[in-house]
Amino acid sequence: MHTDDLSAWSHAHQFDPGNVAGERGTRAVMWITAAMMVLEIAAGWGYNSMALLADGFHMSSHAVAIGLSAFAYAAARRYAADRRFAFGTWKIEVLAGFASAIFLLVVVALMVAGSIERLLSPAPIHYQEAIIIAALGLVVNIVSAFILGAAHHHDQGGHAHEAHHGHAHHHDLNLRSAYVHVMADAATSVLAILALLGGWLYGWAWLDPVTGIAGAVVVALWARRLMADTGKVLLDREMDHPVVDEIRQAIAEDGHVGETRIADLHVWRVGKASYSCAISLVTHDRALTPGTVRGWLSRHEEIVHATIEIHQCPDAHAG
């Protein structure tokens, strides 16, 4: 039996330079969101608008979550060369995205509770003033979306090689979590404006809290998707990715069908578009070495680290 680990993947490459754009954009959006949060909460209390208040509290959680995303970028960069992280610091960013999804679900609960309370105990609303604040909040969200969108496009361009191999793009999940928070804010701002207009023009005061509940449902759906995507990475659920089939195909073709077979295979992601694998092979070829197998896998550049174990069959012959 031969065992060989590929050279340790350079930790300096774990923090993608493309993340710099995401870090700067996220930090800028964090401060913008925090400022708007204070204004909306104050206006919501002052004008008795549940939709506006819900949007403000919603934005407060986003300020924390987006701040967490900015912190994740900084931590990933700071510890990029720390050898204690076996595969680098990329998953710090993924963990921040997962935490952001949890924050979203907390906001959903607060929005639903507040809206139900307002349905049961209506209060007069200063519609015109509240509409102005809600519209300003929407403008802030649109600006924030453009800032993060520019960083998102930078992230896409940095991983064009994935398309060359026919794989789906692996976007920055930390950046995506910040973007989802901004879009959730934009959606609740739109709903708040519509609710306030309905109450102002037609006297539908009930529309304000009902809109808060509708906004909570939208946010919950986005949070669920973000939690699923980040949780998949954190739990190393990657065995359904196309790269697994590529590894199997490479072993079957280059190892000559029937002569070398995979006894055990584990694949997990260690970067946005980078994978590690552990392979146990059973072979009849005594000349087979881990270096040979490494050559078979080398055409798949997304495989950046591998542990290869070879078991010789008793009747193995020299190659």
Q: Residue 15: pLDDT above 50?
A: no
d(C-alpha 5, C-alpha 277), whole Å: 10
| Number of structural domains in the chain | 2
Residue 4 counted as domain residue: no
Task: Check whether residue 229 and residue 250 sit in a common domain.
Answer: no
Task: Check whether residue 150 and residue 74 sit in a common domain.
Answer: yes
CATH code of 54's domain = 1.20.1510.10
Residue 307 counted as domain residue: yes
In terms of average pLDDT, the best of 86-90, 104-108, 145-149 is 104-108
Percentage of the chain surpassing pLDDT 90?
11
d(C-alpha 131, C-alpha 122), whole Å: 18
d(C-alpha 58, C-alpha 243), whole Å: 39
pLDDT at residue 263 in the model: 92
d(C-alpha 66, C-alpha 34), whole Å: 10
pLDDT at residue 244 in the model: 93
Task: Check whether residue 193 and residue 305 sit in a common domain.
Answer: no
Task: Check whether residue 26 and residue 154 sit in a common domain.
Answer: yes
Task: Check whether residue 199 and residue 305 sit in a common domain.
Answer: no
Mean pLDDT of 171-182: 70
DSSP H or E run through 77: helix 50-78
Task: Check whether residue 36 and residue 133 sit in a common domain.
Answer: yes
Q: Residue 1: pLDDT above 60?
A: no
Task: Check whether residue 150 and residue 104 sit in a common domain.
Answer: yes
| Structural domain range at position 102 | 11-234
pLDDT at residue 161 in the model: 43
Token output for 312: 């010789």
User: 86 or 279: which carries more pLDDT confidence?
Assistant: 279
CATH code of 246's domain = 3.30.70.1350
| Residues 132-176: tens digit of each pLDDT | 888 888 888 888 888 777 665 555 554 444 444 444 444 566 677
Residue 5 counted as domain residue: no
Residue 159 to residues 171, 203, 221, Cα–Cα distance (Å): 8, 52, 28
d(C-alpha 71, C-alpha 1), whole Å: 45
Name the domain boundary from 234, 253, 276.
Answer: 234
Residue 1 counted as domain residue: no
Is the separation of the CB atoms in 93 and 66 below 8 Å?
no
3-state secondary structure of 311: strand
Phi (first) and psi of residue 65, to 5 degrees = -65, -40
Name the domain boundary from 217, 234, 251.
Answer: 234
3-state secondary structure of 207: helix
Which candidate, 25, 35, 41, places its Cα nearest to that of 139? 35
Token output for 94: 């993924």
d(C-alpha 141, C-alpha 143), whole Å: 5
User: 216 or 58: which carries more pLDDT confidence?
Assistant: 216
3-state secondary structure of 241: coil
d(C-alpha 99, C-alpha 106), whole Å: 11
Phi (first) and psi of residue 50, to 5 degrees = -70, -40
Is the separation of the CB atoms in 45 and 53 below 8 Å?
yes
3-state secondary structure of 277: strand
Q: Which residue type, as a one-letter code, is found at position 292?
A: T
Instruction: Compute the CA torsion angle 160, 164, 165, 166 (nearest 10 deg).
Output: 90
Is the separation of the CB atoms in 100 and 61 below 8 Å?
no
Which pLDDT band holds residue 11 (cuts at 50, 70, 90)? very low
Task: Check whether residue 199 and residue 87 sit in a common domain.
Answer: yes
Task: Check whether residue 219 and residue 285 sit in a common domain.
Answer: no
In terms of average pLDDT, the best of 52-61, 214-223, 250-259, 289-298 is 289-298
What pairs with residue 3 in β-bridges? Answer: 309
Q: Residue 294: pLDDT above 70?
A: yes
Is the separation of the CB atoms in 29 and 187 below 8 Å?
no
pLDDT at residue 55 in the model: 67
Task: Check whether residue 245 and residue 112 sit in a common domain.
Answer: no
